[in-house]
Amino acid sequence: MELDLGLIIPIIVGIIALVIIYVLAKNWVKIYNKFQYWINRAERKFADLDILMQERLDRLQALADIVKKYDIHEYKTLKDVIEARTGWTKDTSLNEKVKQANKIENAFIKIQAVFEKYPNLKADKLHKRLMKNDERVERRLREARLGYNRVAQQYNERVVRFPRLIVAKFHGFKKMDYLKLSNSINQESHEQFDPKKLFEN
């Protein structure tokens, strides 16, 4: 019995094609699941940071209240404090939360600079008490930032590497923003303002 090559070749090609499709599909699913794994890890790491950021916001508001009490009108700084406070919400994307966390840190540094400028503010009892506990929060924030940034870096490396970048582009996986340690203050003009208007809810 003669083998019909005209039938065998398409069957072999079909089997090879099915094997290739199966391997590709299996790897595609594996890569996709790995992206989801790193996203979940990043979200868990950021959840640890969320509690600390709430603490930071409370302290930021307390410092702003001290500035208001002394009738010091640092418009831009206090405006940034309010925006940082009102912008913090859990109902946003991870990258948006990271941007907001960076804004909060920047606002915190700016308001600390206001206290450096005015010795009577630094001498305030509440300010001294707030700063006494600041080292503990700073240490925990550093650890939380570092943990999140490590996960974000590992995820981001996968987004740009071939062949994972094909899956990333297809499913819309984008690079994660990093949490920054602000060490400089934006030197902007400080306008005079009516604090009552600015802090109205």
Q: Given this model, what pLDDT does residue 190 score? A: 37
Is the pTM of the predicted complex or chain greater than 0.75? Answer: no
- Distance, in Å, from the CA atom of 125 to the CA atom of 14, rounded to the nearest integer, reads 80
Q: Given this model, what pLDDT does residue 196 score? A: 42
Rounded to an integer, the average pLDDT of 117-146 is 82
Half-sphere exposure of 5 (CA within 13 A, CB side): 0
Q: Given this model, what pLDDT does residue 198 score? A: 36
Indicate if the alpha-carbon torsion angle 78, 82, 84, 85 is positive or negative.
positive
- Distance, in Å, from the CA atom of 115 to the CA atom of 124, rounded to the nearest integer, reads 10
Length of the chain: 201
Q: Given this model, what pLDDT does residue 187 score? A: 36
Percentage with pLDDT > 70 across the chain: 86
Least confident interval from 9-13, 176-180, 188-192? 188-192
Answer whether 110's CB lies under 8 Å from 22's CB: no
Q: Which of 31-40, 55-64, 187-196 has the highest mean pLDDT?
A: 31-40
Q: Parse the chain into domains and list their residue ranges.
A: 5-198
DSSP codes of every residue in 46-63 = HHHHHHHHHHHHHHHHHH
Q: Given this model, what pLDDT does residue 41 score? A: 92
What CATH number does domain 5-198 carry, 1.20.1070.10, 3.30.390.30, 3.40.630.10, 1.20.1440.20?
1.20.1440.20
Q: What is the pLDDT of residues 54-67, one digit of tens each?
A: 888 888 888 888 88
Does position 86 have pLDDT exceeding 70, yes or no? yes
- Distance, in Å, from the CA atom of 77 to the CA atom of 9, rounded to the nearest integer, reads 75
Does position 36 have pLDDT exceeding 50, yes or no? yes
Q: Given this model, what pLDDT does residue 182 score? A: 53
Q: Given this model, what pLDDT does residue 184 score? A: 41
